[in-house]
Structure 1
């Protein structure tokens, strides 16, 4: 079994302990534990403005994760609010089964003009999970129509996250995501996460990249290219800890897919719409032209639920020329191509290209450098990132093969301290992910990094004082 540079097995870890139940609450929120479901209340936010949110106690907090990677143009943006209202007053809804709307038609044309290569078709969905689900179902449908009914295996990576719907969730490779949930596991094969920080001790970056590519090549040989339908990958693994792969990795994986007639699906739910300084990052940032791109989140800056799949023209041309012209792609969503969501996305695109993308590219280096100095703290193992997304990975237990218990404690404490100091953190166990609104200034970046530095330092003091960590 491949192990990382601290001896940890590169595989899923044990389940986290259930949180104690509190008082019953009517609202059931995402990802509850069995011991707290239906009896859990989470921190209340009452307002937001720009890069800030205000909690129930009136504290102003920097929105470190931008909601969930999505509030790209910031909170309380009047232009998006006006676009929402104006479209609702013009046409609030239309059924995509037999009509279309002007905003959805215009958005499709706008995205086709900005997507790489011949990805000039789009199927709109309601979010990232349904976008990935749609891409996978398109793959299955196409192979059925073409008589390749065995070509259905889906390849993803450990550490990846692709959604909560059935097929999308089956791709997930984060520890504990599937411990208690059913999925289409027989259709999925998972490769090693392209995480340089966790590569085996003594292995060079070049050798690690070679290992990752050869692992995929070996899988294709073992399973047969005629059985593998798609490789699905986030250009940067977001919820897995902002994993930036080795430089040539994505290009080489793309080439393997092309050689073996395997669809390369880039999951850009996080990396698209400005997070890395481009509308789509696959080609602009990584030099890769996928067969499909899934997107959501930043397409409306989180103001309205919308997602979609960009699909290559050649993919649809093959379907149109098949021997089964009456085969039905029996898949759709009531809120596909929602006119309000598409109107918001058009205005959001205008804002991004009206200066925000330039701003991201101007401040990204400062953002990365400001957080990089946190590596001076003994608790911090690595700071990594690209554009306006970064991860501060804390490593409290560098000896044990099961560091989860202490890591959970670390993340919760950093979050609590930062909240008191004025920063909203979304701890992923031991990892603090920073992906603020793209409008953040250099001064605000420094403030955010300073608060996170202090929060980690205070956590270190707690752990030493309580005998949980020796420093």
Structure 2
């Protein structure tokens, strides 16, 4: 591994830069990027990343950057972990693939057992998928199957919330409630009932946070009464709305929603695609952080620290038992993926769990309060309306002024402006319209947090100067 590193960054650096240029041209001609705009679809090249090590990545020009988003919330144990690369190689040499339709492999069985041991309550059955979108899709299709088998074909509606992001497959994307996600895309709207975002920063004027929590719970209860519990199959919610801007709900809100779901036989699906596997300091956050025992938990991203595509759903034993006791023993859950329970992915996830258990989780819990405290210092900047977060995930939200909290008077790409300045200074952030989201690898040190926050401070300061100079913002 060291020899490979020396070759790529040392003597062959000029050819590596030439290769970067070739990659850009190939992308512009042939590669369709995710989430493209119609005006540039199929012709776009994005920032090229060549290497990674620890919390750092290197771009196509050879510039080292702190990987602020940890890839996409996922590189939890850091880049270039030889342990994970070695397991990937060893498992591929032993068994690279098996069909899950009529065979199985040992790593998937072991991983299911270990994940079940961490899940709350009676969640002890695991269905493996290829990522977060397919995990949420699986949970929803399981809900449909469950209610069909139990003779309740009308109980299929799904409750979701503003600000949510649950995936890019047809059904999972239908749940999304972020601005611009659905403007030009179709969805299964007839199956979805949308609720308000649990965002305390955007709560109605005059409401305390406690009163806002009451409002959200009352809205949920009233919606169930209006629509009919006999028609609602599931509620799907992220413990912390990640791509919606790291929305941390009011204290006690999730527990109260869970109780309403239990009272009305509505399956509670906790979408932990982002929050699981250490992002909030635990393998699962639902019970450890928020005190809830859902009926299903979806996961992905950090389960392999992004080294291999893998996701899954942990399902309550109660639901399995009810299906086995039904009057339709021959009913088939007609759902599966070619790469369900992939042996390489499951082997990587097992080693990733070893690393998490071996000190990464402890470190994440210890360093998280410092991370949150240092990020909070950015509120001294006039452009910053709020800094919020939990564990090792945080968001800096910019506003035109703090009194109105209005982001719309700002340039809509203010997040991209900040990201551009930070990139120049040595930090990659994730821009979301008027927000910058941070979720670094869990191995980040206090000194590296200081470096990250210092660059963010300077990047926001430079953006303020740009906006003033252009007359977009007076501060």
For Structure 1 versus Structure 2, the TM-score category normalised by the shorter chain is over 0.9
2:109 maps to 1:109: no
- Partner secondary structure for residue 366 of structure 2: helix
Contact 2:399 2:406 (8 Å CA) reproduced: no
Contact 1:275 1:438 (8 Å CA) reproduced: yes
1:60 alignment partner in structure 2: 64
Quick one: distance in 2 between partners of 1:88 and 1:171?
36
2:398 maps to 1:390: no
Contact 2:411 2:472 (8 Å CA) reproduced: no
1:10 alignment partner in structure 2: none
Quick one: distance in 1 between partners of 2:64 and 2:329?
57
Task: Return the offset for 1:408.
Answer: 2.1
- Partner secondary structure for residue 100 of structure 1: coil
Q: What does 1:98-137 correspond to in 2, within 5 Å?
A: 98-137=102-141
> If the length of structure 2 is used for normalisation, what is the TM-score?
0.93
- Of the candidates 411, 435, 440, which is equivalent to residue 431 of structure 1? 435
Quick one: distance in 2 between partners of 1:236 and 1:269?
10
Q: What does 1:58-457 correspond to in 2, within 5 Å?
A: 58-396=62-400, 403-404=407-408, 406-457=410-461
Deviates more, 1:407-416 or 1:111-120: 407-416
Task: Return the offset for 1:104.
Answer: 0.4
Q: Which runs of 5+ in 1 are unaligned?
A: 1-21
1:12 alignment partner in structure 2: none
- Partner secondary structure for residue 257 of structure 1: helix
Deviates more, 1:404-413 or 1:76-85: 404-413
Task: Return the offset for 1:409.
Answer: 2.9
Contact 2:398 2:407 (8 Å CA) reproduced: no
Deviates more, 1:202-211 or 1:264-273: 202-211
For 1:239-285, what per-residue CA distance to the aligned partner results, in whole angstroms no more than 9, with x for missing partners? 00000000100000000000000000000000000000000000001
Task: Return the offset for 1:24.
Answer: 4.0
Task: Return the offset for 1:202.
Answer: 1.8
Contact 1:397 1:406 (8 Å CA) reproduced: no
1:16 alignment partner in structure 2: none
Alpha-carbon RMSD across the aligned residues, in angstroms, is: 1.4
2:474 alignment partner in structure 1: 470
For 1:206-229, what per-residue CA distance to the aligned partner results, in whole angstroms no more than 9, with x for missing partners? 100000000000000001000000
Contact 1:113 1:120 (8 Å CA) reproduced: yes
Quick one: distance in 2 between partners of 1:287 and 1:349?
23
After the TM superposition, which segments of 4 or more aligned residues of structure 1 sit over 6 Å from their partners?
A: 398-402
> If the length of structure 1 is used for normalisation, what is the TM-score?
0.94
- Of the candidates 21, 37, 43, which is equivalent to residue 39 of structure 1? 43
Task: Return the offset for 1:29.
Answer: 1.2
For 1:154-187, what per-residue CA distance to the aligned partner results, in whole angstroms no more than 9, with x for missing partners? 0010000000001100000001111111110010
Contact 2:166 2:175 (8 Å CA) reproduced: yes
Quick one: distance in 1 between partners of 2:317 and 2:416?
47
Task: Return the offset for 1:33.
Answer: 0.8
Equivalent residues, number: 450
Contact 1:155 1:228 (8 Å CA) reproduced: yes
Contact 1:414 1:455 (8 Å CA) reproduced: yes
2:52 alignment partner in structure 1: 48
Contact 1:396 1:407 (8 Å CA) reproduced: no
- Partner secondary structure for residue 348 of structure 1: helix
Contact 1:269 1:295 (8 Å CA) reproduced: yes
Task: Return the offset for 1:468.
Answer: 1.0
| Structure 1 residues 337 and 382: CA distance shift in structure 2, 3 A | same
- Partner secondary structure for residue 412 of structure 2: helix
Quick one: distance in 1 between partners of 2:177 and 2:249?
16
Task: Return the offset for 1:411.
Answer: 1.2
Contact 2:385 2:401 (8 Å CA) reproduced: no
Contact 2:407 2:434 (8 Å CA) reproduced: no
| Structure 1 residues 131 and 87: CA distance shift in structure 2, 3 A | same
Quick one: distance in 2 between partners of 1:78 and 1:23?
29
- Partner secondary structure for residue 217 of structure 2: helix
